[in-house]
Amino acid sequence: MSNQRQQKPTLTGQRFKTRKRDEKERFDPSQFQESIVQGLNQTVLCNCKQSVKNKSTHQRLKTHTVCFFTAPGGTLSDDVTCTDFCLFKAQEDMETMQAYAQVFNKLIRRYKYLEKGFEEEIKKLLLFLKGFTESERNKLAMLTGILLANGNISASILSSLFNENLVKEGVSACFAVKLFKSWLSEKDINSVAASLRKVGMDNRLMELFPANKRSCEHFSKYFTDAGLKELSDFARNQQSIGARKELQKELQELMLRGDPLKDIIAYIREEIKKNNISEQTMIGLIWSSVMSSMEWNKKEELVTEQAIKHLKQYSPLLKAFTSQGLSELTLLLKIQEYCYDNIHFMKAFQKIVVLLYKADVLSEEAILKWYNEAHLAKGKSVFLEQMKKFVEWLKNAEEESESEEEEAD
């Protein structure tokens, strides 16, 4: 038996030592918050130009673009330390809010990388509106409206207001009133409408209300009572446009299906009553639907014959909704516009008008009015030349008729 002592097993591998200077400090939320607030307070935000140019402010913003309003879990933290320049400590008036907006505007213009992050943070912030007081919500709404007017953020941030809980509690609608008042004090309704359309928000404003109140009547009353009639009219107009698009789509389907004209006429009359659509608007929709229900030949010499045959079939439908002189003129303008926009129809204009005249869709008075004063600029010289002989014939026929009446007297 060997007297040699048995060696103990040892672990193999390398052992790395970390230098003290490379060790990372544990993240302390409260200390982090205090350092941010202290840094912001040291920068004189009331001097806007100085704050934007200040190098230390730039570094802090570059490192900390996130808003620290909420605690984990989505509730507002009660022990958050606000800066001396916090929006919620400011006075609740437009002049003060414009001063805050100016700071954001200059910062974003100078440091473009902040733009995207800023908009995302506004979206997140709006999701927690219930955690703010009414006064704080009002200030935030006013500032948001000014930022929208300045173009610092897009109208896509409104999607946060469609949050189910905010809508149910009525917070979204109240916030929207303040926001739109602020926005409309800076820009007109056309500018606001354009911004909403750009991001597809123009047809979603009804979502500010619960499903059982999501009607044009409720929306109109709510915002009109709040002093925002312009917005109410815009929403009503948007609903009307949506209804017309749906109606035109349905008309095309009825025509493609080959439904009897009497059924189509009955359906249209019902829709006119239901949606309060004028005959002038309706004749435009009918014309578009009739022309969209056919696949047209690409050859100019064949398309005219095809158009005459097609329109002859639908002339009773057009006649049913041209009972007024203004409706006839509207139809003539639609025909002119269509023939100009579709080059294969340029030579077909006169033949279409003559067909509809013979079918009692268009009257002599409407054609003469269109020819003398009411035509569009589109293709004017071409179409007036086409109609010259027919118009002369109409005038001669009118003179003969007048002379015959005089002789009879």
The domains of the chain are located at: 60-237, 258-401
**pLDDT digits 0-9 by tens, 185-226:** 999 999 999 999 999 898 899 999 999 998 888 999 999 999
Is the entire prediction scored with pTM above 0.75? Answer: no
- The string of DSSP codes covering 112-123 is TTHHHHHHHHHH
List, for residues 303-322, the tens digit of each pLDDT value: 889 999 999 999 999 999 99
pLDDT by residue (tens digit) across 125-148?
Answer: 999 999 899 999 999 999 999 999
pLDDT tens, position by position, 44-71: 444 444 444 444 444 444 434 434 344 3
Report the pLDDT averaged over residues 248-259.
88
Q: Which two tokens stand for residue 391?
A: 């118009």
Q: What is the SS3 string spanning 280-328?
A: HHHHHHHHHHHHHCCCCCCCHHHHHHHHHHHHHHHHHHHHHCCCCHHHH
Question: Does the domain spanning 258-401 belong to CATH 1.25.40.180?
Answer: yes
Please name the helix (run of DSSP H) or strand (run of DSSP E) that holds residue 401, with its range, or none.
helix 380-408
Alpha-carbon torsion (224, 226, 231, 236), positive or negative: negative
